[in-house]
Amino acid sequence: MEYLINPGGVEDKKSIELATSKGNHIRNSQRRERPAEALKDAARFATEGYDGRKLRSLTSRYNCIGMVFANRRTCIEPEEVPMILIDDEYVEVVRAADVVPGDLVVYEDVGGISHVAVVVSNDPRVADGDSIISVLSQWGSDGEYLHEYRDVPPLLGKPVRFYSERRR
């Protein structure tokens, strides 16, 4: 039976105990694993014809935000991200050239935050001043992928900001 009152809240049995550094509860819910064949089909769809996309892990138990903020244990809704960024004292990294491994990329669509990824490398291109930024992200219920930060399915939105929890 699905929990209908305050889903993802502290009373929800599919929710794990999870809080920001300031002690605010992060609403979350654990998913069941999708059938192996469905996951393999999703991976084929995500990578065929896209040489820059590499499958890392094939699971649907967590989403991108759960991968980033909950160690791959649960799903966290995008509405929770602003609170997490503020409470955990993330700061915006304005220039792509200043992004380092471990920083985050936040994506948005017309409805607001839609996706989050972790930077794994940043290779500045001197010729045009751009950077080739590679990230790791969970694509919905379709597995984890290593990819260039701008190369995501349209449903995941567009990259809009970088954030870091580095202390300066």
d(CA 147, CA 17): 31
Per-residue model confidence as pLDDT tens digits over 75-115: 999 999 999 999 999 999 999 989 999 999 999 999 899 99
Alpha carbons within 13 A on the beta-carbon side of 4: 1
Q: What are the φ/ψ torsions at residue 113 (nearest 5 degrees)?
A: -65, 135
Do 149 and 135 contact (CB within 8 A), yes or no? Answer: yes
Q: Hey, what are 131's tokens?
A: 């950077």
Report the residue count for the chain: 168
Distances 162 to 12, 39, 113, 145 between C-alpha atoms, Å: 32, 29, 13, 18
Question: How high is the mean pLDDT of the chain?
Answer: 91
Contact 61, 30 (CB under 8 A): yes
Distance CA 68, CA 123 (A): 22
Give the chain's residues under pLDDT 50: 1, 3
Q: Are strands 144-148 and 54-57 parallel, antiparallel or unpaired?
A: antiparallel
Can you give the pTM of this predicted structure? 0.89
